[in-house]
Structure 1
């Protein structure tokens, strides 16, 4: 499938914006990637380019955190970490109506919490946490991602 000139122009502009954004956020991006002309873009990716051909893989500058170390242990499998279930928007709405509370009245979980990072939680989502309980069998609580 041959892309129209408008579609190629659109993808070219999107890629340029993404490169500028990545550079501003501290990723290694060469100036040539930002100053690339449309002709150079077409020469690199061809006129029959597909979106999946435009994958961008960049490394962050001055990133002191070892991202691999986060993956050495599956935090979800740790014995002290209870079961977590991410609620859908509909389940969240039902929960808030059932208990007549606002989402901000729920206990909170930081977006940087290891479990929140594991599930890729975003601010505003709600997670259901199910803990074993000696007296009740199980204890359910909800956390609002901030």
Structure 2
């Protein structure tokens, strides 16, 4: 078996989890990307740096643009930062790309850290623009595939309304899940949304709870 640069394996694992995450959010991701083995990933993305005369996989080449399967206006960009530290200049490039495409959602994959000034820029964005950030280390494995993590299903707005009417509740009376929860972040859950959580049960077969994202 061919031995690859450990960095290639890291990039492949992050890219694989990212594609799974996008599909779990109901974005259209090509099967050819979902099913890439490490060797296929390297073959597809490896290039040669002519200046340094070395082979590498540029993170810029991993950029993705995906569309939601039920809403063509819901476009998500995914940017892999080439720099170890994301600063304001990188965010400016990202925002120009979003504006030129008319998109309002993006995910930045950060190699190590993001500067305090860049964090302030993200916090100052209008509420109509959503920019999420994940460190590469957070995506080396897909946490939702772990046997101890129950199934999470986001309710549509009409399903949320039916649930509250059925049990004569206000949404604030539901148990809560933090927006910063790792699984909530994986699914891109927003405050005010309700998620259905299904756990296996030895007596009932399955145990269902609902949580409000706060």
TM-score (norm 1): 0.60
Contact 2:196/2:211, CA 8 A, preserved across alignment: yes
What is the Cα deviation at residue 58 of structure 1? Answer: 10
Contact 1:82/1:130, CA 8 A, preserved across alignment: yes
Does residue 137 in structure 1 map to residue 197 in structure 2? no
Counterparts of 1:121 and 1:53, CA distance in 2? 22
Q: Provide, for residues 103-140 of structure 1, a one-character-per-residue CA deviation record: whole Å limited to 9, x for no partner.
A: 01000000000110000000000000011000111111
Question: How many residues of Structure 1 are paired with residues of Structure 2 in the alignment?
Answer: 101
Higher relative strand content: 2
| Cα RMSD for the two superposed structures | 3.2
Counterparts of 2:212 and 2:195, CA distance in 1? 7
Counterparts of 2:115 and 2:143, CA distance in 1? 26
Counterparts of 1:58 and 1:80, CA distance in 2? 26
Q: Secondary structure at the match of 1:131?
A: strand
Contact 1:28/1:58, CA 8 A, preserved across alignment: no
Aligned to 2:14: none
What is the Cα deviation at residue 73 of structure 1? Answer: 1.2
Q: Secondary structure at the match of 1:104?
A: helix
Aligned to 2:135: 67
Q: 1:98 aligned to 166, 169, 189, which one?
A: 166
What is the Cα deviation at residue 28 of structure 1? Answer: 2.4
Q: Provide, for residues 24-62 of structure 1, a one-character-per-residue CA deviation record: whole Å limited to 9, x for no partner.
A: xxx6235xx7xxxxxxxxxxxxxxxx92399x9797315
What is the Cα deviation at residue 66 of structure 1? Answer: 7.2
Counterparts of 1:53 and 1:86, CA distance in 2? 26
TM-score (norm 2): 0.42
Counterparts of 2:193 and 2:208, CA distance in 1? 17
Contact 1:29/1:58, CA 8 A, preserved across alignment: no
Aligned to 2:195: 127
Written as runs of structure 1 = structure 2, the 5 A alignment for 1:1-146 is 28-30=87-89, 51-52=100-101, 60-62=114-116, 67-146=135-214
Counterparts of 2:87 and 2:173, CA distance in 1? 41
Q: Secondary structure at the match of 1:90?
A: helix
> Which has the larger Rg?
1
Contact 2:109/2:136, CA 8 A, preserved across alignment: no
